[in-house]
Structure 1
Amino acid sequence: MIDGTGFIRQTSEGLIEFRLIFGANPDRLNIHRALQFLDTAPSGTLVPATHYFDLVASDVGGSTWKASNLYLGDKSIYVSQNTAVITGNIRQLVLVASGETGLGDSVQLCNLFVKGDFKLPYNEFQDNGEKGSSLCKLRMSIDDVDIEFNNNNNVLGISFSIDIKILLETYESNLRQAVSILLGVDLPVMYSIKRTADSAETSIFSSERFASGKLSGPLKTWMPYQHEDMRCFVEAYIKAAEGQDLNRLFGYWHKIFVVSNSTIEASSLACGVAVEGVVKQYFKGLFPAEQGKIDLIGEAKIVVSDIDIDSVIRTQLMSALGNYQSKSPKSVLYVLCDRLGLDKKIVNSWSKLRNKTAHADDVDMPKHKYEEYFQQYQSAMYLFYRLTFLIIGYQGGCIDYSTIGCPDVIVRKIDLDSA
């Protein structure tokens, strides 16, 4: 244990920093002996879990704040005559307070505070006294859950209350994922407050937790009359998450998002891989190969198993034959486009994009080729969003990025089993 006095602060850039002063005391280990185990990991190896620290701090009011998984690098420790100053960054700082909060026994409340000025289909005015009023509130109801968005002074507040039987962390995560996809940003939550009848948890987040960038959203969400499409998307996402794991879907979206401010080559690679990953994760099992082909593959497996060859080669051959028991991602996409009523040229654009990203860049790409490249990326991104709609069961308006001018189109909900 390393203890001492110090401070924790959040910079104007959103980073959370701490500084701890470890003073000389003959009754305990000096700083060198206390931290000598940090030098035991050989160069080039991963940092062992035992090299990360937990932090517990008491503020002037007596409240206890906690943080976990802190790493002290070479430049984190400054030593002078057995007195050390230890500095570092914190990704999440948590305060848990017990006691009555004023909420009923059957209710949980969550407030999120997000940095930024976001365009949403606000549908309520806020009275600002002598300054008049501003259209900065959005309310939506999903089943028995009322969700409110409030944009004020470059901070977006998101609040909702749910029944105690619903896992608060899961609902908050699903809501945050849905809104992130809609807005095309990894929501930079500055802090959150979660309350039950007998406790309140406050979390402060460092800006380093969130990737920067801006991705074109799947539908228009900035005019008041568009709030119903936003509500339908959020509702579809949250309800779909109750029956299946959408963390992979959000992960593939995040793969596209993190390179949204990068080059067209990087964005295309991420988008092409994400579409293929979504197909393999959520759709490939719906379209097995024809029965006759499966029977032939089964016979081939019997032959391979009887051949006297190296066991590694046999395993590779069996695995390769197994891959033929279902259609390729491209074949599955053709079927999906047919059932969604989409032009199969979108799949062709994705396939060209996928092939192009597997080869060397054309460093002297002419302007018309670049525009064609960008249009293929736009088509692949639209394909990703249509797959997302299909997975969560969304129906409503969306933006067709595969068509020049990006027109609005209507998405209809379909059942793949009966389509």
Structure 2
Amino acid sequence: MFEQVRDQLQSGEFRVELVDCQVTQCVDNDPITFKGVGIVSQNKDGELEFVLVCQSTEGPYDRYALLNDYISGKLIGDAGLYSIKGQDHNGKEWTSERQLINRSHGHSLKISASLSELKTERVVHANKSGKEYCGWYFTGELMLPFRPHENDFKCELEGWTWEAIKDHHGNVELRFNSLAPDFEKNSRSFLTGVSLLAGQSPVPCCSWHIKGDKEEVTILPHGLRPQGSRLLEFIPREWIYRGHWNAFLSLWINAKSDATTRDVQEVLYHYFHRILKTYQNDMENSVQVIASSIEGLISTFYHLDSDIDQGFVALLEDAIEKISASDLGIDDRALGVLKSSLKNSKLPKLKVSFRRLIANGILTKDMLDSWDEVRNKAAHGGLLEPTTDATQTHLDGFFDCYEAFKRIVFDVIKYAGTHRDYSLKNWPVIEPRVQAVSESETEQAVVTQS
């Protein structure tokens, strides 16, 4: 079923007619429901358009009232969202949750929507391996470590397997499987890890997921659009470095930290995605974002209570207490400055943590200087001047900060293997003698070609 959906999407000919179709308001009590025959089809841009020819309604529907009573600048509540479901002629149910709809009155009432996703499922033979399986299909060039003229490869690691298959369009299907209890987190972490290594934000146009005896197929039409330029590589993307990709992905998927209650992968990828999006769109703002991302990572993973100057905190508290109790008539604004200073003094000092990372050999003094130079000037739009020297200085700062960001990511997940170094001339590939891997004692990863 997935292959059929994928091919129809690629050709722009996806279409499904839904009988017994219902469009139901996303509220618990007395929802509005429209019933009739629905059609989902692709438009010329590859997007999914839905139209329902309404045959009956249920609930408090008033044809003369506003269907979507939105308030500008406010989030749309459940009452403004609708779920769609219906069966095709083969009896398969298709669903699309929480969509915005429009209506039109002519000879009949019609409901329309531009769908952000569409799902269906079918029964398959249950596997007894205790694993779940999924795949994502990406349009456009996804940078993976393929051999020249190679169209597929498979990597089997401890507890999970991934596979990449390139079709005649140049598009790629990624497949992943792991043990069921950890599958949801592992599959999500795998995809974000591949995104870091590929330097792209991979958005699939469709995906499949097999759990037990059910296969769910999901269409994400926004994945049909190009996803922009790529960020600089952490680890080279040539096929000879595939084992290093596996070493990174193994550590990435299994990474944990006591410094945050959130998943480590979620925190790291949040900042990577911010950098990627600004890198694709604006040269100056990309430096600002990467500087703030470094600050965010250091604040999350490296601050210590000892980074706070407790002596200075005590001095400020004593001064505020004495001034407040005195009859000196100090202006509230002056007292406010002291209170603000007290609040800031109770926060760990970022540069203290940065210098500790320098002392531990993770970052360098040049990275600290570059970061300190760009984080304030870029924020106020005063960094990039229209001269060659200014542009080169800007680029140097970006590459230093990008290398610092990469090293922090590596340190958090404990990756100490091959990488490209953007702090050195000509950006050489550094290949340490000792590789931090967990797959086996004798090899970085088991890589088999299918």
> What's the TM-score once normalised by structure 2's chain length?
0.77
Distance 2:83 2:419 in 1: 45
SS in 2 for 1:188: coil
After the TM superposition, which residues 58-73 of structure 1 pair with which residues of structure 2 at under 5 Å, given as runs? 58-72=87-101
After the TM superposition, which residues 336-415 of structure 1 pair with which residues of structure 2 at under 5 Å, given as runs? 336-340=357-361, 342-361=363-382, 365-410=386-431
- The answer to whether the Cα contact below 8 Å between 1:186 and 1:210 also exists between their aligned partners in 2 is no
- The answer to whether the Cα contact below 8 Å between 1:400 and 1:409 also exists between their aligned partners in 2 is yes
Hey, what does 2:36 align to over in structure 1? 4
- Cα displacement (A) at 1:376: 0.9
- Cα displacement (A) at 1:46: 3.3
- The answer to whether the Cα contact below 8 Å between 1:101 and 1:200 also exists between their aligned partners in 2 is no
Hey, what does 2:103 align to over in structure 1? 77
SS in 1 for 2:320: helix
- Cα displacement (A) at 1:62: 1.4
Q: Give the direction of change, closer, same or farther, for the CA distance of 1:108–1:360 in structure 2 (3 Å limit).
A: closer
SS in 2 for 1:389: helix
After the TM superposition, which residues 289-304 of structure 1 pair with which residues of structure 2 at under 5 Å, given as runs? 289=307, 293-298=309-314, 300-301=316-317, 304=320
Residue type of the partner of 1:80? Answer: G
> Is 1:86–2:111 an aligned residue pair?
yes
- Cα displacement (A) at 1:289: 2.4
SS in 1 for 2:244: helix
- Cα displacement (A) at 1:92: 1.9
Hey, what does 1:18 align to over in structure 2? 50
Q: Give the direction of change, closer, same or farther, for the CA distance of 1:316–1:252 in structure 2 (3 Å limit).
A: farther
- Cα displacement (A) at 1:56: 1.1
2:207 to 192, 197, 200: 192
Distance 1:178 1:373 in 2: 28
- Cα displacement (A) at 1:237: 0.6
1:101 to 115, 120, 125: 125
Percent of aligned pairs sharing the same letter:
18
Hey, what does 1:324 align to over in structure 2? 345
- The answer to whether the Cα contact below 8 Å between 1:108 and 1:161 also exists between their aligned partners in 2 is yes
> What's the TM-score once normalised by structure 1's chain length?
0.82
2:135 to 111, 122, 129: 111
Hey, what does 1:56 align to over in structure 2? 85
- Cα displacement (A) at 1:394: 1.0
> Is 1:32–2:48 an aligned residue pair?
no
1:283 to 297, 302, 315: 302
SS in 1 for 2:255: helix
Distance 2:115 2:317 in 1: 54
> Is 1:170–2:185 an aligned residue pair?
yes
Distance 1:348 1:326 in 2: 21
- Cα displacement (A) at 1:314: 7.9
Hey, what does 1:131 align to over in structure 2? none
- The answer to whether the Cα contact below 8 Å between 1:121 and 1:138 also exists between their aligned partners in 2 is no
- The answer to whether the Cα contact below 8 Å between 1:18 and 1:87 also exists between their aligned partners in 2 is yes
- Cα displacement (A) at 1:360: 3.3
Could you tell me which runs of 5 or more consecutive residues in structure 2 were left unpaired when the two chains were aligned: 1-32, 437-450
- The answer to whether the Cα contact below 8 Å between 1:190 and 1:205 also exists between their aligned partners in 2 is yes
1:255 to 271, 274, 277: 274
> Is 1:155–2:165 an aligned residue pair?
no
- Cα displacement (A) at 1:340: 2.4
Distance 2:59 2:88 in 1: 24
Hey, what does 1:135 align to over in structure 2? 150
Hey, what does 2:18 align to over in structure 1? none
SS in 1 for 2:230: coil
- Cα displacement (A) at 1:220: 3.8
Could you tell me which runs of 5 or more consecutive residues in structure 1 were left unpaired when the two chains were aligned: 126-133, 415-419
Q: Give the direction of change, closer, same or farther, for the CA distance of 1:141–1:321 in structure 2 (3 Å limit).
A: farther
Summarize deviations over 1:306-342 as a string: whole Å, max 9, x none: 7359999989855642432454323322221331254
Q: Give the direction of change, closer, same or farther, for the CA distance of 1:316–1:203 in structure 2 (3 Å limit).
A: farther
- The answer to whether the Cα contact below 8 Å between 2:358 and 2:365 also exists between their aligned partners in 1 is yes
How many residue pairs align between the two structures? 393
- The answer to whether the Cα contact below 8 Å between 1:65 and 1:95 also exists between their aligned partners in 2 is yes
Residue type of the partner of 1:147? Answer: W
